[in-house]
């Protein structure tokens, strides 16, 4: 079973700084929150945006999560890693915000013949991480298509994709965070990958026609 990781391991010094910030926050010192905001705000907004696809909404989600942390930090076990707990809170809050805004679009109208019966990995949908100069424009177009495709997934599928491929969590951890069975997580990931492949094919064809 894979172990979920939120980000690269903190250096010993950074871990001490984070623990001190949490202790300060538990003692009512808002300066401790400022340390956590500085460290995690950017990553949190990026993660929330992947689910909401609305930057102001993503920023609001992260702000609300930080406020909840300030209010309820007393319940946090300082022996637990902070980053996984915080980022999962961001994902859950973003899913609820996306549902409230009804940001997801139904994919029921997509004909099955455009899809593929074979499973694919999410990495197959992403561009080469080391592009040549000649491929930069094409990669930008594909990245735009990926973003547009993610926007069309239901919030629960977006959350599963983000938790697995951006936060690198395993099925059991994702299931606990989304309050569903591991089998449901695997089904959502499988369905999301197939739907992304369908949408991306159509978007890339459209982009190609426009650029001709």
Stronger pLDDT, 181 or 139, i.e. the higher one: 181
In a domain, 46, yes or no: yes
* Per-residue pLDDT at 130: 53
Structural domain contains residue 200:
yes
Q: How many domains does the chain have?
A: 2
The answer, yes or no, to whether residue 138 has pLDDT greater than 70, is: no
Looking at residue 116, what is its pLDDT?
43
Residues 116 and 206 in one domain: yes
The yes-or-no verdict on residue 126 having pLDDT over 50 is: no
Show which of 54, 80, 101 is a domain's final residue.
Answer: 101
Say yes or no: 197 and 116 in one domain.
Answer: yes
Complete DSSP assignment for the chain: -PPP-SSSPPPHHHHHHHHHHHHHHHTT-THHHHHHHHHHHHHHHHHHHHHH--HHHHHHHHHHHHHHHHHHGGGS-TTS-HHHHHHHHHHHHHHHHHHHHT-----TTS-GGGS-SS---GGGGSPPSS--GGGHHHHHHHHHHHHHHHHTS-HHHHHHHIIIIIS---HHHHHHHHTS-HHHHHHHHHHHHHHHHHHHHHHHHHHHHHH-
Domain match, 204 and 116 both: yes
Q: For residue 88, what is the domain's CATH number?
A: 1.10.1740.10
Do 20 and 97 belong together in one domain? yes
pLDDT reading at 201 higher than 70: yes
pLDDT value for 200? 72
Average pLDDT, the chain: 75
Which of 76, 101, 126 represents a domain boundary (last residue)? Answer: 101
- Check residue 93 and give its pLDDT: 92
Give 64-100 pLDDT, tens digit per residue. 999 999 888 888 887 788 888 898 899 999 988 988 8
Give the CATH number of the domain where residue 136 resides: 1.10.10.10
- Whole domain around residue 192: which residue ranges? 112-211
117 in the same domain as 90: no
> pLDDT digit string (tens) for 33-48?
898 999 999 999 988 9
Min mean pLDDT across 14-18, 21-25, 38-42, 106-110 is at 106-110
Residues 89 and 121 in one domain: no
Residue 1 lies in a domain: no
């Amino acid at each position: 079973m894979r172990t979920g990781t939120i980000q690269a391991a903190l250096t010993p010094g950074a871990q001490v700084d984070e623990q001190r910030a949490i202790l300060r926050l538990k003692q009512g010192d808002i300066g401790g929150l400022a340390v956590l905001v500085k460290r995690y705000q950017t990553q949190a907004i990026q993660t929330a945006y992947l689910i909401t696809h609305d930057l102001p909404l993503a920023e609001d989600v992260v702000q609300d999560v930080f406020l909840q942390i300030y209010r309820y930090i007393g319940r946090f076990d300082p022996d637990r890693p902070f980053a996984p707990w915080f980022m999962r809170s961001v994902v859950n809050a973003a899913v609820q915000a996306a549902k409230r805004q009804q940001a997801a679009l139904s994919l029921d109208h997509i004909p099955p013949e455009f899809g593929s019966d074979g499973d694919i990995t999410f990495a197959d949908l992403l561009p080469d991480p080391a592009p040549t100069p000649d491929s930069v424009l094409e990669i930008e177009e594909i990245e735009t298509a990926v973003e547009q495709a993610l926007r069309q997934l239901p919030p629960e599928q977006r959350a599963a994709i983000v938790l697995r491929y951006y936060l690198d969590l395993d099925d059991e951890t994702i299931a606990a965070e989304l309050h569903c069975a591991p089998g449901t997580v695997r089904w959502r990931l499988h369905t999301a990958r197939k739907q992304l492949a369908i949408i991306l094919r159509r978007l890339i064809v459209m982009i190609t026609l426009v650029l001709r």
